[in-house]
Amino acid sequence: MEHGAAGGVNLPERIGGYIVERELGAGGMGTVYLARSRGGRAVAVKVARPELAGDPHFRERFRAEVAAARSVGGFHTAPVVDADPDAAAPWLATAYIPGPTLSALLEAEGPMDEARLRRLGAALAEALAAIHGCGLVHRDLKPGNIIMAPDGPRVLDFGIARALESTRLTATGTAFGTPGFLAPEQAQGQEVDGAADVFALGAVLVAAAGGSAFGAGTPMGLMYRSVHEPPDLDAVPEELRPVLAACLAKAPEERPAPADLLDLFVPDAVPSPPGAAYAPTVAVVMPPPPAYAPSNAFPPPYQQQPPHQAPPNGPLPYPAPSDYLLPHQIPTELAPVGGAPDDADLTFVALGQGSSLLIDATGITLGPVGAETQYSWAEIRTVTYAAEGPKHLQVVVHPHYGTAHPCVLAARRRSRLQAWLEDLPLILECFL
């Protein structure tokens, strides 16, 4: 990268062959810039954070995932147009796709009817078929990662999720993704395949219908319900409930494949007019920067989301969604310039049988699922932890005032307990 003073402190002038216009924000992968090719094409360039750039596991996975992502075709993905995994700071460029995210569209227009839900479901099934056909699994499909372009929905950020997941702070035993859309096997830190994306597709359509498959509340509560409780399909039109119930099956092998979903969503195979199902029905003017540019400049979980401020070049017509963030998640809404502090998106999540532990920039939340206790970092004097037998972890929060708060987490496998023990010191060093 070439650096210069134009446009802001430490703003690079070029990244690869792209001229940087301004910084859009910072996400789990790193800093995101609005840039243009020499021919004037707008792109979003994502540059890896320094700690990721120095992680050989990330570089290896990033190189493989980018190669696979560039081969993904189909009508319903945002293409990866360029990348340099071997650069001092690895980067990835994706094409600019104009349009609001599904999150923003739903906030502006409200729930979709059955016809639009079926067309959206078919489009997302086609996108997943293209992604899975190239050996990729998205791992973080959600309304904020879907652009409602004039010619139909586009799925974003399918090329780097696995690379981010391979880093030390997202090792086996921690969850990667967005609570409420995580498949049970994902929430429990197990290996995932394309069936996890089908589960997320079902949750996305429930949200598009005006509901929430696993209710509201804390990330831990959402993850617990996705593992142990049936989805809430009350907002879904009657005829679609069996299809979404199949998508949201607890066992991966019981979920339909994307190709089968096409027959379930549009059994008559009647084509719809181009763009008719997806174009917003409210008059809006989109700002020049890409609406899907990743950013992580949101307040931490459990706090009320303040309204976004209008960017300097005009109003932001769509409010940002309030999706909770998990390790190295790649949010997809425009955010204020400058992004978040470096450690704002570092999160450790451990979900045991009936108890949970969440460590992030706000502090530590632990205890029985549904009755957790939260401590801010200002309240915490120290944290101790130790293995209790072959599959149990005890974590004790020692506040400055009051009694210590213990929590015991039961791992399903010894390997998960070992991963917890390896990851805990890394995340605690970031905040204590």
Which candidate, 47, 53, 17, places its Cα nearest to that of 33? 47
Instruction: Let me know: does 200 contact 144? Beta carbons within 8 Å.
Output: no
Which candidate, 31, 53, 93, 103, places its Cα nearest to that of 295? 31
Instruction: Let me know: does 5 contact 24? Beta carbons within 8 Å.
Output: no
140 is catalytic: yes
What does the CA dihedral 142, 144, 145, 149 come to, rounded to 10 degrees? 120
Instruction: Let me know: does 93 contact 35? Beta carbons within 8 Å.
Output: yes
List residues forming the annotated binding site.
Answer: 46
List residues forming the annotated binding site for ATP.
Answer: 46
**Other CB atoms within 10 A of residue 414 CB:** 12
The active-site residue, picked from 140, 345, 360, 423, is: 140
Task: Report the alpha-carbon distance of residue 312 to residue 331 in Å, rounded.
Answer: 21
* φ, ψ at 366 (rounded to 5°): -155, 160
- State the Rg of the chain over Cα: 21
Place of tokens 């996305």: 204
Q: Which residues are catalytic?
A: 140
